Each structure stands twice: as structure tokens, then as C-alpha cells.
Amino acid sequence: MQELKCVVNGKNVAIMIDPSHSLADVIRYDLGLTGTKKGCEEGECGACTVLVNGLPVDSCIVPAMKANGKNILTIEGLEQNGELDPIQEAFMEAGAIQCGFCTPGVVLSAKALLMREENPTKEDIRDELSGHFCRCTGYLQFYDAVKLASEKIKSRKNKEKK
């Protein structure tokens, strides 16, 4: 067992973990944050995507100890004061969720993209989401959702300015 110290969804975490475990397993079983899904468990499907220091990674193939000293964002960390993140709202409104299994990962990749690029092009969205499998939506709704989210984020910012 080894001590893992990191920040998860804005909170300091210090726990003893098995260093042979993946980050996905520690997030799900040690921290109880089951919003992170395990699909293929070989870094192909993207369901387990979380952000490490703002960058999307497949947590199923990341050794958990690699999170040491890092800032981890999972799907549970997106809501603020009981309100959904604009990206989550946009995914609901655009019909970009069906069974929901791939959704947490896709939303987090969208989050990383929108943190870096306020007005992503269709190509930017395609590239950023290219590491996700979705067997329900047909992917097109993802474009709509990310575009809509980008509008929502901008209008929220404008409101805050006023």
C-alpha cells in the first residue's frame, strides 16, 4: 500500500491505495466516485476519461499513483453549488445522451476542449472527441452539444460582466 495525495474535484485527498491499481479503480472503488465508467479497460473506448491537470486521459490505463500531486476532475466535480455545468445542460438539451455510459467521459473531453478554446470549430470538436466510442447517439449530437455549450458559457460570462 502506498499513500496517494492529490486533489480530486477541488478537495484534497490523502489515502492509502494499492499501487498496482489503475486510476479508474481508485476513483470508483476507493473514492466511491462511480460516475467514471470502465468500458474496454484497454484505453480504446474513452468511457473512463477524467482530466488530470486539465488534460483528458484514459484512467483505466493510468497507474493510480500517477495522480500523485495532480489535480483530478471527474464528472462529479462539474456541478457548482447544485447547478449543472453548462456542458452537462447542453448534452441533455441536444439529445447527446442516450444510455449514458460514454457520457461522463465525453463531457470531460468537451470540458477540456472548452477550457482551452472558447469557440471550437467542427474539426476541433471532432479531434478532441475522437477517442470516445458511443454506440447510441451516432456522434452528430455531440457536435451540437459542444456548440451549444460554448454559447452557454459565453452568455454566462457576459451576464457576469454586466
DSSP 68-125: TT-EEE-GGGS-BTTB--HHHHHHHHTT--SS-SSHHHHHHHHHHHHHH-SS--HHHH
Residue pointed to by grid coordinates 462529479: 76
CB closer to other proteins out of 7 and 61? 61
Among 95, 127, 140, 155, binds other proteins (CB under 8 A): 127
Report strand pairing: 2-8 vs 11-17: antiparallel
Q: How far apart are CA 36 and CA 33, in angstroms?
A: 7
Q: Which stretch binds other proteins (CB under 8 A): 18-26, 78-86, 92-100, 141-149?
A: 18-26
Cell numbers at 18, concatenated: 494499492
Cβ-Cβ contacts under 8 Å for 10 (sequence gap 6 or more): 77
121 contacts other proteins (rule: CB under 8 A): no
35 contacts other proteins (rule: CB under 8 A): no
Q: Which stretch binds other proteins (CB under 8 A): 6-14, 48-56, 77-85, 89-97?
A: 48-56
Among 56, 77, 104, 120, binds other proteins (CB under 8 A): 56
CB closer to other proteins out of 56 and 86? 56
Residues that bind other proteins (CB under 8 A): 2, 19-20, 22, 41-44, 46, 49, 52, 55-58, 60-63, 65-66, 68, 109, 127-128, 130-132
